[in-house]
Amino acid sequence: MGVSGCGKTSVGRALAERLGWRFADGDDFHPPANVEKMRAGIPLDDDDRRPWLERLNVLLREAAGSGEPLVLACSALRERYRELLADRMPELRFVHLTGSPELIGQRLASRRHRYMPASLLASQFAALEAPRDALTLDVGPPVDALVAAICAGLDLDRLAPLPAAPQIHAEPDQNGGRERSAGSGVGE
């Protein structure tokens, strides 16, 4: 979890690959209205985020029910958002990737996101409520070092690597939203 540009997707994919778990990017599950709002440079509000977070909670619960662990990359900026994600998921763990606004801004400037403009970064930092019960890591080190720190910090090294699982991508449903389910474990 963390603001846009902190490395959630890169670190999440690398973690899932190391563990042989499934990976899903929460950004793939935003409804079209949210995507259009962000493309227009308008920050999402709680009403925009709630259905998206509820959909991600269903994804996590389905994954847990199927016994297929999942690493989910998701901003989860506020405590109430993390509570929605963790509803009926006592085993869900969060990893907070953090960095200075300057560092994250540099990262955003050097990449092209399909709909998240760098102009929304300040609103994300303003909305961010530091988690009380998450593993918090500075994003300065390389991805492999962050993955090792996550595995050690959450005691994931004790888990035998599972066979590689596919990434999960949302697919448009008939209503223009996105649908797809998969595995469970670490909400990032």
Share of the chain above pLDDT 90, in %: 66
167 CB-near residues (< 8 Å, 6+ apart)? 13, 16, 22, 23, 24
Cα→Cα distances 141→24, 148, 149, Å = 23, 11, 10
Fold of the CATH domain 8-160: Rossmann fold (3.40.50)
pLDDT over 90 (residue 167): no
Give 147-166 pLDDT, tens digit per residue: 999 999 999 977 645 455 45
Q: Give the per-residue pLDDT at 26.
A: 96
pLDDT over 50 (residue 183): no
Q: Give the per-residue pLDDT at 178.
A: 43
Indicate the pTM of the whole model.
0.81
Higher pLDDT, 173 or 170: 170
For helices 143-153 and 8-19, the axis angle rounded to 10 degrees is: 60
- Domain coordinates in residue numbering, the chain: 8-160
Share of the chain above pLDDT 70, in %: 81
Give 82-130 pLDDT, tens digit per residue: 999 999 999 999 999 999 999 999 988 887 666 666 777 888 899 999 9
pLDDT over 80 (residue 74): yes
